Amino acid sequence: MAAPTAKEKLLAGSLSLIREQGFAATTVDDLCARAGVTKGAFFHHFDSKDALGVAAVEHWSRSTEALFQAAHYHRAADGLGRVRAYLALRKSLIRGQIPEFTCVAGTLVQETYASHPAIRAACADSIFGHAATLVDDFAAAIEERGVGGAVTAESLAAHTQCVLQGAFILAKASGEPRRAVESLEHLERYIDLVFNVKQRLRSPKRRRSP
């Protein structure tokens, strides 16, 4: 495998720095120091820090897309099984330090949505593009289990990304990754309830005295 180029090192370093300290707090000097490249190399590849911001999100989308495309959850036989396996995978990815498992696009869009339209657009593509990869599985689950009403595959897919993004914020605020896992468990329970999977939600006391 060829050694990473300056551009690849800048992109990889930007994903770490943005997840550690956000975009505005990250300077071109920080990016060059993390990547171990010169400022000349930076401006050879990127016209500005904003251009790097857009490229960083696109790089993030490509690398996460590859990870999820190669994942085993697609192998489940039915739509609900694939959705549940996807959520189990997302829970398993919440480990290690917070910058290792949180989302570049969610962090970036929070601070740039109004001031940097091109970055906002790249973040929207990343978040809703990833949500779109779940729509077929949700649609299959809806068909298989005869669910309808106000619940659509598109809105369930977007909601999974909502809960993931919110879960990362709870983890950051508390410093406790388990807070994120707990919210994903609520999302798993919601999806099971929507698709009529049997739940143990009665209190034991009430079950003994009906």
The CA dihedral of 32, 43, 9, 111, to the nearest 10 degrees, is 70
Asked if 170 is part of the footprint of a copy of itself (rule: CB under 8 A), the reply reads yes
- Measured from the Cβ of residue 87, the count of other Cβ atoms closer than 10 Å reads 21
201: tokens are 């939600």
The sign of the dihedral angle between the CA atoms of 99, 102, 108, 111 is: negative
Contact assessment for residue 26 and residue 92, using Cβ atoms and an 8 Å cutoff: no
Contacting a copy of itself (CB under 8 A), which of 40, 172, 198, 208?
172
Q: Determine the interface stretch with a copy of itself among 35-43, 65-73, 74-82, 160-168 (rule: CB under 8 A).
A: 160-168
Q: Determine the interface stretch with a copy of itself among 45-53, 83-91, 99-107, 133-141 (rule: CB under 8 A).
A: 99-107
Quick one: which of 197, 173, 192, 187 has its CA closest to 91?
Answer: 187
Contacting a copy of itself (CB under 8 A), which of 142, 153, 157, 177?
142
Q: Interface mask (CB under 8 A) for a copy of itself, residues 68-97, using x and -?
A: ------------------------------
Q: Determine the interface stretch with a copy of itself among 4-12, 60-68, 75-83, 118-126 (rule: CB under 8 A).
A: 118-126
Q: Determine the interface stretch with a copy of itself among 5-13, 76-84, 132-140, 142-150 (rule: CB under 8 A).
A: 142-150
Counting residues that bind a copy of itself (by CB under 8 A) gives: 65
Length of the chain as a residue count: 210
67: tokens are 């990870």
The CA dihedral of 115, 120, 122, 124, to the nearest 10 degrees, is 180
Q: How far is the CB of 71 from a copy of itself (least distance, A)?
A: 22
Half-sphere exposure of 23 (CA within 13 A, CB side): 27
Provide the binding-site residues for a copy of itself, judged by CB under 8 A: 20-25, 98-99, 105-107, 109-115, 120, 123-124, 127-128, 142, 146-151, 155-156, 158-159, 161-167, 169-170, 172-175, 179, 182-183, 185-186, 189-190, 193-194, 196, 199-206
